[in-house]
Amino acid sequence: MSFLSEALWVLLLGSLLGLELIGKVPPTLHTPLMSGANAISGITMLAALTLIIKAGENFPLLVIGSVALGFALFNVIGGFLVTDRMLAMFSRKKTSHKGYR
């Protein structure tokens, strides 16, 4: 039972933290923020990883875990890279702008 009570506290505090973190977001960043947060939600890859490691010789479970890991990593790697691509445009412009003014 102790895991449950701890886990519920963690859930509550994590939610409150999430609510606090996004205070005022300029509209410019809505799209990158959404895609960055989306990448973080791929954290289920940890659960998939655990599943595979604990599966032992259980073939179907290995397959399920592996597919789950693939989906999660698609989300994580794709999400972070695409966010970086978007944000790179903002920063590149800032420096080049300084250059010709």
Which of 4, 86, 6 minimizes the C-alpha distance to 38?
86
Rg (CA), the chain: 19
Report the C-alpha gap between 95 and 93 in whole angstroms. Answer: 6
Minimum CB separation from another protein for residue 85, in Å? Answer: 7
> 90 CB contacts (<8 Å, ≥6 apart)?
28
Minimum CB separation from another protein for residue 35, in Å? Answer: 5
Minimum CB separation from another protein for residue 47, in Å? Answer: 4
